[in-house]
Amino acid sequence: MNNELTVSSAARETLPTVFGYIGIGLAYGIVGKASGISPLMITLMSLITYGGASQFIIVSMLVTHSPMISIILSAFLVNSRMILMSTTLAPYFKKESLLKNIILGGLVTDESFALGMNKLNFTDRKLNFAWFNTVNWFAYTAWAAASLVGALLGNFISDPEKFGLDFALVAMFIGLLYLQLISDKSIKFKLQLIVVAFVLVATYIGIIFIPANLLTLVVTLLACAFGVVIKHGFF
């Protein structure tokens, strides 16, 4: 990374994350096809919903015939972290037009957010439209293309579970959680570990009586409230 906020520097710096999008996008396409969803719908979901974890969840809830409203609510909740990331990013683009803000905001991802936060350390705390927009579009096109290819490959790989591909998502959460733990300096490391431990206990207890599609929401809201309380009580 350097201090250049140009299209070419963005292209160079996005490359490592593009490999990630291709891997998970392929897995998503294959899992989607194996779940009986058409390549067209699989690709549309990547273009319209555009959220890795949420797309796997939508597929699994479609398979279990969940009501539409609870699928949409689950997708919203899984993606609600976008609110936080967009909120953190927005101040750096205050001088850009409203339209440019909407274009940038509409394609923010975990990875483009992380790259942006990293870039700030090299540019004297500055970001611009050209750089961030390039990062976003590389991610968006790689994700959609990989999803389509995965869906088409799915015709030949009928049982992706056999190869462990369904674990790609869980592994991604493990990786993102770890990267979050070591890079998020806004919350003390020990407090983060306590919240993660709380989530484990809350999941174990909650899974006894909370339906699977509501469990993530309930546990996350409880853990956020718990985190705030512990932070004020002990940190």
Partner 1 sequence: MVSSSFVFFTILGSGIATWLSRIMPFVILKKFQLSSGVIEFLSFVPIAIMSALWFENLFIQHLGHLPSLDMPNLLASLPTVLSALISKNLLVTVVVGVISLGFLRLVLGM
Place of tokens 């493990």: 174
Q: In one letter, which amino acid is 212?
A: A
H or E segment and range at residue 130: helix 129-153
The interface with partner 1 within residues 27-86 (CB under 8 A) comprises 27, 35-38, 41, 44-45, 48-51, 53-54, 58, 62, 65, 68, 71-72, 75-84, 86
Query: For partner 1, which stretch binds (CB under 8 A), given 88-96, 125-133, 137-145, 150-158?
Result: 88-96
Rounded CA-CA distance 136/147 in Å is 17
185 sits near partner 1 (criterion: CB under 8 A):
no
Q: Please, what is the minimum distance in Å from the beta carbon of residue 51 to partner 1?
A: 5
Angle, CA 23 vertex, CA 21 and CA 26 arms, to 5°: 100
Q: Which of 158, 190, 211, 235 binds partner 1 (CB under 8 A)?
A: 211
Contact between 195 and partner 1 by CB under 8 A: the answer reads yes
Q: Which stretch binds partner 1 (CB under 8 A): 7-15, 118-126, 147-155, 172-180?
A: 172-180
The yes or no reply on residue 227 touching partner 1 (CB under 8 A) is yes
Question: What are the tokens at 7?
Answer: 């299209």
Size of the site for partner 1 (CB under 8 A): 100
Question: One-letter amino acid identity for 84?
Answer: L
Q: Which is nearer to partner 1, 4 or 12 (CB)?
A: 12
Nearest C-alpha neighbor of 165 from the set 27, 22, 63, 32:
27
Is 129 a binding residue for partner 1 by CB under 8 A? The answer is no
Question: Dmax over Cα atoms in the chain, in whole Å?
Answer: 56
> What whole-number distance in Å separates Cα of residue 111 and Cα of residue 202?
28
Which range in 7-15, 19-27, 123-131, 145-153 contacts partner 1 by CB under 8 A?
19-27
